[in-house]
Amino acid sequence: MCETARDILVSVQSTFEFELSELNIDEDEQLFDKYCIDIPVVTIDGELFARYEIDPKKLDEKLKILTKEKLK
Q: What is the pLDDT of residue 19?
A: 86
Cα–Cα nearest to 7, from 50, 41, 56: 56
Domain of 56, in residue numbers: 3-71
pTM exceeds cut of 0.85: no
Q: How confident is the model at residue 72 (pLDDT cuts 50, 70, 90)?
A: low
- The overall average pLDDT reported for the chain is 88
Residue 22, helix vs strand vs coil:
coil
Strands 41-44 and 47-51, sheet pairing: antiparallel
- What CATH number does the domain containing 43 carry? 3.40.30.10
Q: Which region, left, alpha or beta, applies to residue 20 given φ > 0 means left and ψ of -120 to 50 means alpha?
A: beta
pLDDT tens for residues 21-54?
Answer: 888 889 999 989 988 888 899 999 889 999 999 9
What's the CA dihedral at 53, 18, 69, 38 to 10 degrees?
20
pLDDT confidence of residue 67: 86
Domain count, the chain: 1
